[in-house]
Amino acid sequence: MIAETIATQFEVPGRLVSLQPIGAGNVNDTYRVILRTTFSEEQYILQRINQAVFKDPAAVMSNMKAVTDHAHCKIEEEADHADRIWQLPRVIPACDGGDFVVDGEGEFWRALSMIASTTNYEKVAIPEHAAEAGLVLGHFQRIISDFPIEELADTLPGFHITPGYLSQYQGNLETNAAQQRLEASAEARRLSRFVADRMEFVRVLEDALEKGELSLRPIHGDPKITNVMIDNFTGKGTSIVDLDTVKPGLIHYDFGDAVRSGCNPAGEETTDLSDVLLDLDLCEALVRGYLREAKGFLTDYDKQYLYDSIRLITFELGLRFFSDYLAGDVYFKTSYEGQNLNRARVQFALCESVEAREGKIREILEKYC
Ligand code: GN1
Ligand code: MG
């Protein structure tokens, strides 16, 4: 297997003893590698970057390297006053000194340090977990908030620009393949009406950016709950991982993504829509944790758009899944037919729940802002 020949091409000592696929990412392939020397065992994360999604993997790696170097210095500087030991993956250099290895087929591979003694979860059941997810995101955004965005490449043009996803969806709708999928499924037709009813709303954050109310900052891009690592010994959040999408963006993309993934106890993959909801206890805990770290760098306008970001990013992910279903599952990995349709149903149900609880969510935001 090719991954095995790549696994020994990074600056990690020892002989290869194990290489196991791990994680349930929708985009990259991830493995845990174990190497052994006479006296120690080394573990690290090996990933193959999905080039159908990331067209310029070298730029992804250079963003990741620059931001993690900056963040590691910040963590070090603040260590004496921190209430926990913060971790963040380190890019492990290849034996040739680069940030990645390219194999004979042109695939890009990278090695990242493991986050020690931690667990990540697909879903959130208790407010303490949601609070930690919020705090971990707020901490990450804060320690990178002074990194100059001019030094970051736009590695995924259009990422989280909802009006762009809407245009792409409208283009997909025109194709014969999409029409056939719609004709075959009443549920797909229901989802298309759900989108049609929310056309006006998709511009809310991009309009605010154009008006100068919001501004671009370095963001994580993908702070969903599975990317938040919880310390096995303390139960506290200790790291955020999956740094592919670190690039300039609105902090609202991150906040909305954290809430939609951290406050729906049913998770993204449930097939039972009756379990899907925006849980207000989880939401309050997440907001409290996030604002503990983020309050200091958020402007009044930033705060005003937090509710909209929850609704929008939930809707946007539903739209992205639905659009991919209509396009024949070309972006998100699937393991069964109709999975992207089901994922879209879940996010749209969650979006409806957010809309129904707008007043309560705004009250929570006001309480902690
Ligand atoms: C993708 O690969 P993964 O699972 O970390 C996607 C996110 C979505 C997420 C939904 C680059 O993330 O935007 O929110 O699936 N990443 C990219 O599960 O598109
Ligand atoms: Mg990701």
Q: What is the pLDDT of residues 132-168, one digit of tens each?
A: 999 999 999 999 999 999 999 999 999 999 999 999 9
User: For residues 63 and 54, what is the distance between their CA atoms, to the nearest angstrom?
Assistant: 13
In this structure, which ligand is nearest to the CA of 253? 1
Q: With a cut of 70, say whether residue 1 has pLDDT above it.
A: no
Contact 80, 86 (CB under 8 A): no
Residues 307-360 pLDDT 10s: 999 999 999 999 999 999 999 999 999 999 999 999 999 999 999 999 999 999
Distance 219 CA to ligand 2 centre (A): 13
Residues touching ligand 1 (Cβ under 6 Å) are 25-27, 53, 222, 224, 242, 245, 257, 268, 317
Q: Residue 191 — very low, low, confident or very high, per pLDDT cuts 50/70/90? A: very high
Domain with CATH 3.90.1200.10 in the chain: 127-368
Provide φ and ψ at 58, rounded to 5°. -65, -40
Q: With a cut of 90, say whether residue 208 has pLDDT above it.
A: yes
**Structure-model confidence comparison of residues 116 and 70, the more confident one:** 70
CATH 3.30.200.20 fits 2-114, yes or no: yes
Give the residue, by CA position, lying nearest to ligand 1 atom 19.
27
DSSP code for 271: S
Q: With a cut of 90, say whether residue 24 has pLDDT above it.
A: no
Scan for tokens 């667990």, then name that residue. 119
The stretch 204-233 carries a mean pLDDT of 98
Distance 41 CA to ligand 1 centre (A): 31
Q: How far is CA 334 from CA 44, 61, 127, 299, 329, in A?
A: 26, 26, 30, 39, 7
Contact 51, 57 (CB under 8 A): yes
Q: Residue 23 — very low, low, confident or very high, per pLDDT cuts 50/70/90? A: confident
Residues 118-137 pLDDT 10s: 999 999 999 999 999 999 99
Q: Residue 250 — very low, low, confident or very high, per pLDDT cuts 50/70/90? A: very high
Task: For residue 218, give every residue at least 6 positions away whose Cβ sits within 8 Å of its Cβ, in sequence order, or none.
Answer: 67, 141, 144, 145, 147, 149, 152, 246, 247, 248
Contact 130, 283 (CB under 8 A): yes
Superfamily the domain 127-368 falls into? Aminoglycoside phosphotransferase (APH), C-terminal lobe (3.90.1200.10)
Q: Give residue 147's region: left, alpha or beta (phi > 0; psi -120 to 50).
A: beta
Q: Give residue 335's region: left, alpha or beta (phi > 0; psi -120 to 50).
A: alpha
pLDDT score at 26: 87
Contact 133, 286 (CB under 8 A): yes
Query: Ligand 1: which of 26, 270, 310 to mutate, judged by most atoms within 8 Å of the beta carbon?
Result: 26
pLDDT score at 100: 98
Domain with CATH 3.30.200.20 in the chain: 2-114
